[in-house]
């Protein structure tokens, strides 16, 4: 009976994971609570997953990845990349190879976000569409994560499963022999053949160039009779809602881009506002302001904005961020975050409905305006990834040595067996905090909390699948199907099942569910556990058939103008290559014999 309940809860959870109507962390937490209420998971053990070493390790990796991302390494890479040939094959190969190397030692999404600006700049310089650059970049970031313990959360999870099974976790470079070979073959395929299989979308222009903002930008003067004289800008914002964006203020000879919500309004202040023609009359009536002149945002407005260190920036909506699934009205972007939304593009097409009513989706590209430091602080809070080149402070590259040295020291402590990975990486975070290289606020913002909740909730659920006999039943069915086949084919079967699962649900969830199944198959055929755990690790990070299997694939969907069906065109042959390369290497380096 317990086994049937676990299967039923997991089936419902998998459907909800795939449809994406409810955030995956809420789904996982719901599954945990249902099984706890039904007493299949003991109440005392319900939250034991949140103390699991894998949770601590994943959190530390996310923080350290963000530190490396903000340390100035992008400037070093840009100088190197500027010397690369303009041939598309060479550019795709260099970018894919570089992101794969970075992904071996930092979070996949962090590595992707580092190199996306370089890829976009290369496409713009060569006047090419983004499509042949961004999907290869995303896929290569997943391939690079296969090569080390810290390259991707599935590897960390598999390592802890091994420790529980045989008493010894996988070490830092135990994944390298198979993972590196798969990564090299995969990057070679992507660079030489794969990008040619992607449909070439129309040449991309930036949203700020494609959108006709000038027709919506007007200047209005605060009259002596206006009821807003002496009030805060915030009072004006509350009146006009998000249908009208206050993008600038001119007071005398001084221009203020994205004025503070608490700036006091004075007579003869001139507000530069973005307003649709049909809303202009209502705005003037409500405020009592006088219409001045129309301005071109690209000339006068940009000069005013740049004088106050205010920039136009494009950013993409990331999965499970604050912006995902909310409207601009719900977010109160300017009053709460100090930024204005000037335009939205979805899959390379500008959206024309009223901005405040658009429900933002993963992959949408937003055109934002605001002070540089305010926008940079708002992006992680809103769950947005900048597409424009980061502007790092002068002298920041000198600080590059500190995070790299700290991170390397932590890895060396683990490599030489001095301390386990779940101790060394958090220690590195503490060193950066104590040295004030990393602020506590930045550390908390770097952690992807939905992922942490997902892992903490699903670990006990995965254990319930095992303790109730569900994992063994699935493993027996798989083993029965392969009774007449050689044992190595079972490794391939486990690999393929995990691959297909990871294309539709979070890869960490796929690994948590498939690891007990892999162990069960090994026990059923009398084989060693290691090759099956490796197969689950490889399959869990091979989400190449859809944009929803991994966050990296989702991030590039909007900027690349991809359709849902574009991913399998390059992803399916890549999956076949991975199966053909990894299966013999797994059984070679990790023999099936007990």
Query: Residue 113: helix, strand or coil by DSSP?
Result: helix
- Burial-class residue 289 by CB neighbours within 10 Å (0-12, 13-18, 19+): buried
Joined tokens for residue 45? 């053990």
Closest CA to 36 of 9, 1, 4: 9
pLDDT in the model for residue 214: 46
What values do phi and psi take at 370, rounded to 5?
Answer: 170, 175
pLDDT in the model for residue 305: 40
- Yes or no: say if 362 and 557 are a contact pair by the CB < 8 Å rule: yes
CA-angle at 515, arms to 514 and 516, nearest 5°: 95
Which string of b and e fits 457-466 if b means at least 16 CB within 10 Å?
A: bbbbbbbbbb
Show the beta-strand stretches assigned E in 223-309: 244-251, 254-257, 270-275, 290-294
Joined tokens for residue 346? 């979805």
Q: Which long-range contacts (CB under 8 A, 24 or more apart) does 488-491 make?
A: 488/583, 488/584, 488/587, 488/592, 490/521, 490/525, 490/527, 490/532, 491/531, 491/532, 491/535, 491/583, 491/586, 491/587, 491/592
Alpha-carbon radius of gyration of the chain: 26
pLDDT in the model for residue 477: 84
pLDDT in the model for residue 218: 67
- Yes or no: say if 471 and 517 are a contact pair by the CB < 8 Å rule: yes
Domains of the chain are 208-307 (3.30.70.1450), 310-386 (3.30.70.1450)
- Burial-class residue 212 by CB neighbours within 10 Å (0-12, 13-18, 19+): exposed
Which string of b and e fits 102-116 if b means at least 16 CB within 10 Å?
A: bbbbbbbbbbbbbbb
Residue 215 is classified by DSSP as: G
**Would you report the helix, strand and coil content of the chain in percent, each value rounded to 5?**
60, 10, 30
pLDDT in the model for residue 208: 54
Strands, sheet with 365-371, edge to edge from the N-terminal-most edge strand: 349-350, 340-346, 365-371, 310-317, 384-386
Q: Cα(583)–Cα(488) distance, rounded to whole angstroms?
A: 8
pLDDT in single tens digits along all 594 residues of the chain: 788 999 899 899 888 887 777 878 889 899 999 999 999 999 998 998 898 888 888 888 888 877 876 666 666 666 676 677 778 899 999 999 999 998 998 878 778 877 887 888 788 778 888 889 999 999 999 999 999 998 888 999 999 889 887 788 898 899 999 999 999 999 999 999 999 999 876 544 555 555 544 445 667 888 888 888 888 888 887 776 556 777 778 887 677 766 777 788 888 888 877 776 556 677 788 888 887 644 444 344 434 444 445 667 778 887 767 888 788 777 877 777 878 777 777 766 665 555 667 788 877 888 787 777 777 778 877 888 777 554 434 334 445 678 888 888 988 888 888 888 889 989 999 999 998 888 888 888 778 788 888 888 988 988 888 888 888 888 888 877 766 778 899 999 999 999 998 888 878 888 988 999 998 899 888 889 999 999 999 999 998 998 877 878 877 877 787 887 889 999 999 999 999 999 999 999 999 876
Which string of b and e fits 244-262 if b means at least 16 CB within 10 Å?
A: bbbbbbbeeeebbbbbebe
């Amino acid at each position: 009976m317990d086994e049937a309940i676990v299967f039923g809860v997991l089936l419902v959870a998998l459907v909800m994971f795939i449809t994406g109507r409810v955030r995956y962390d809420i789904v996982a937490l719901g599954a945990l609570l249902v099984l706890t209420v039904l007493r299949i998971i003991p109440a005392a053990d319900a939250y034991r997953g949140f103390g699991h070493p894998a949770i601590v390790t994943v959190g530390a990796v996310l923080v350290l990845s963000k530190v490396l991302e903000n340390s100035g390494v992008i400037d070093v890479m840009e100088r190197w990349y500027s010397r690369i040939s303009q041939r598309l094959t060479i550019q795709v190969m260099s970018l894919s190879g570089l992101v794969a190397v970075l992904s071996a030692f930092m979070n996949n999404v962090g590595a992707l976000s580092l190199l996306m600006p370089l890829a976009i700049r290369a496409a713009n310089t060569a006047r090419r569409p983004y499509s042949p650059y961004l999907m290869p970049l995303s896929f290569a970031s997943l391939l690079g994560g296969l090569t080390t313990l810290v390259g991707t959360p599935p590897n960390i999870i598999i390592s802890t499963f091994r420790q529980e099974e045989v008493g010894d976790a996988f070490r830092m470079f135990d994944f390298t022999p198979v993972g590196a070979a798969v990564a090299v073959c995969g990057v070679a395929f992507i660079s030489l053949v794969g990008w040619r299989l992607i449909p070439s979308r129309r040449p991309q222009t930036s949203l700020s160039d494609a959108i006709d903002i000038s027709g919506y930008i007007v200047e209005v003067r605060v009259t002596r009779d206006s009821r807003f004289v002496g009030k805060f800008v915030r009072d004006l914002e509350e009146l006009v809602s998000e249908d009208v964006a206050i993008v600038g203020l001119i007071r005398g000879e001084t221009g203020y881009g994205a004025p503070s919500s608490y700036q006091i309004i004075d007579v003869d202040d001139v507000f530069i506002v973005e307003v649709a023609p049909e809303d202009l009359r209502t705005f003037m009536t409500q405020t009592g302001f006088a219409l001045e002149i129309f301005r071109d945002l690209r000339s006068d407005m940009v000069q005013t904005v740049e004088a106050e260190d205010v920039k136009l920036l494009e950013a993409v909506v990331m999965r499970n961020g604050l912006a995902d699934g909310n409207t601009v009205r719900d977010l109160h972007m300017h009053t709460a975050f100090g930024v204005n939304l000037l335009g939205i593009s979805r899959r390379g097409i500008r959206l024309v409905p009223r901005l405040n009513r658009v429900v933002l989706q993963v992959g949408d590209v937003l055109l934002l305006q605001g002070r540089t430091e305010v926008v940079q602080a708002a992006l992680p809070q809103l769950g947005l990834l900048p597409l424009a080149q980061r502007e790092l402070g002068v002298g920041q590259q000198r600080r590059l040595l500190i995070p790299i040295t700290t991170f390397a020291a932590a890895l060396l402590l683990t490599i030489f067996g001095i301390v386990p990975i779940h101790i060394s990486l958090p220690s590195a975070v503490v060193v950066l905090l104590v040295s004030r290289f990393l602020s506590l606020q930045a550390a908390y913002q770097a952690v992807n909390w939905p992922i942490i909740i997902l892992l903490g909730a699903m670990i006990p659920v995965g254990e319930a699948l095992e303790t109730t006999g569900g994992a063994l039943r699935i493993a027996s069915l798989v083993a029965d199907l392969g009774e007449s086949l050689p044992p190595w084919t079972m490794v391939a079967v486990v690999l393929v099942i995990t691959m297909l699962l990871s294309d539709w649900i979070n890869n960490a969830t796929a690994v948590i569910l498939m690891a007990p199944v892999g162990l069960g198959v090994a026990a059923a055929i009398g084989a060693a556990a290691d090759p099956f755990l490796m197969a689950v690790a490889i399959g869990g990070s091979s989400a190449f058939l859809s944009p929803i299997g991994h966050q990296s694939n989702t991030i590039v969907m909007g900027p690349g103008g991809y359709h849902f069906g574009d991913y399998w065109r390059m992803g399916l042959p890549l999956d076949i290559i991975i199966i053909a390369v990894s299966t013999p290497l797994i059984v070679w380096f990790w023999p099936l014999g007990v």
